[in-house]
Amino acid sequence: MLKDIHHKIDSLFPEMVETRRYLHQYPEVSFKEVKTAKYIADFYEELQIPYQAKIGGNGVIATLKGGKPGKTVALRADFDALPIQDEKDVPYKSKVDGVMHACGHDGHTATLLMLAKTMKSFQEDLPGTIEFVHQHAEEYAPGGAKPIVESGALDHVDAVFGTHLWATTPLGVMQTSKNVFMAGADRFEITIQGEGGHGAYPHETKDAIVIASQLITQLQQIVSRRIDPLETAVVTIGIFEAGDAFNIIADKAKLVGTVRYLNTDIQEEVITEMEKIIKGVCVTNDASYTFDYVKGYPPLVNHEQEAELVLEASKNIDEIHTAEEVVPVMGGEDFTYYTIAKPGAYFFTGAHKEGNDYPHHHPKFDIDERALPIAAKTLIEAYFLYQKKTS
């Protein structure tokens, strides 16, 4: 039956591409994906697969109950976009100003929809039940996975699998980990209140820009000088806002950034060190400050047995020539909430597009659409292997 399923997926490739490109042209940012959620719900309505909408927000979950007994397995795809202007010169370029699918979620959605359409044709021979989980708001914490899990909609699920079309990995390569796979991702904001004045009389001021600059330099020493070199952490300042004119010393500065980590003990150590540095620099310069630290997605940890199933599944897919275990990447993913609640695994499906070397979240990001059926085949192969191993 699996060969027939593969053939069916291949036959749906043109529709898969058409669906992905339609979604690419009409993206919606996190928590505002109303039209996208309706598009997904309408698709399942037409397929006559029962579904629930507005799960944990804009989430949609469709349920395909097979004709044979078995476990219930969730397959997840996210569908939100990013506040980025699409700069690609392609016919399917985003038609929404300032919003773009710059991370492949349009491809994830098209993959899962076509997989659902495929499996509907094999429903009577399907062991167990597939929950097609279409998740909103992966890009912006607190995200969509957490409220979906908290809604109880997946309480009955036995395992969960998901994939990310990974634009920096070659087509035909599948990557995963049997342990920590992706980093925890936090956000922080520091506001420094100094005392402004004329640019010609700096001695009469407390220069917020100079103070913030000292902070930036010292914050970088947390990773280079205060964290065990055998541990992993990142402290990045992404926003530095200050000043209104070339001849005025700024009284206020704002720094916004992210912390990435693999170990929660390191996360707490970074926070403690940040607090000490910020306080020390500001006290020394006689300035006041606020420090707002928001803990985001925890590290994504795969379950070993489910990750092994993904690696085994890849052997049954002709288009995959390399399946490998990799070290963790420092990007964040709220799929972690599923693997905290249930056994499961997440993996990367290589989707590098020849001639397009732009990474995720770049205005010219794109994927090789031939990766979509590979992702679909890997997900369903993992599903069947799980059924076999747990029966």
Look at strands 322-325 and 173-176 and give their pairing.
parallel
288-293 contacts: CB < 8 A, separation 24 or more? Answer: 288/192, 288/193, 289/190, 289/191, 289/192, 289/193, 290/189, 290/190, 290/191, 291/188, 291/189, 291/190, 292/188, 292/189, 292/190, 293/186, 293/187, 293/188
d(CA 44, CA 59): 13
Q: Which pLDDT score, from 0 to 100, does residue 311 have?
A: 98
40, 49 in Cβ contact below 8 A? no
* CA–CA–CA angle 366, 57, 141 (5° rounding): 60
The dihedral through the CA atoms of 142, 143, 145, 150 has a sign that is positive
The reported pTM is 0.95
Q: Which pLDDT score, from 0 to 100, does residue 391 have?
A: 86
CATH class, domain 2-182+299-390, is: alpha beta
Going from the C-alpha of 309 to that of each of 71, 312, 344, 375, 379, the distances in angstroms are 15, 5, 10, 14, 10
Query: Helix, strand, coil proportions of the chain in percent (round to 5)?
Result: 35, 30, 35
Q: Which pLDDT score, from 0 to 100, does residue 129 have?
A: 98
Nearest 5°: phi and psi at 166? Answer: -105, 110
Q: Give the SS3 label for residue 250.
A: coil
Query: How many other C-beta atoms are found inside a 10 Å radius of the C-beta of residue 17?
Result: 18
346, 164 in Cβ contact below 8 A? yes
Q: Catalytic site residues?
A: 80, 138
Q: Which pLDDT score, from 0 to 100, does residue 14 have?
A: 98
Q: Which pLDDT score, from 0 to 100, does residue 277 have?
A: 98
User: Domain spans of the chain?
Assistant: 2-182+299-390, 184-297
d(CA 215, CA 233): 18
Going from the C-alpha of 272 to that of each of 219, 269, 291, 338, the distances in angstroms are 12, 5, 12, 29
Tens-level pLDDT at each residue, the chain (391 residues):
999 999 999 999 999 999 999 999 999 999 999 999 999 999 999 999 999 999 999 999 999 999 999 999 999 999 999 999 999 999 999 999 999 999 999 999 999 999 999 999 999 999 999 999 999 999 999 999 999 999 999 999 999 999 999 999 999 999 999 999 999 999 999 999 999 999 999 999 999 999 999 999 999 999 999 999 999 999 999 999 999 999 999 999 999 999 999 999 999 999 999 999 999 999 999 999 999 999 999 999 999 999 999 999 999 999 999 999 999 999 999 999 999 999 999 999 999 999 999 999 999 999 999 999 999 999 999 999 999 999 8
φ/ψ region of 54 (left if φ > 0, alpha if ψ in -120 to 50, else beta) reads left
Residues 6+ apart with CB under 8 A from 83: 29, 98, 99
Query: 184-297 in CATH: which number?
Result: 3.30.70.360
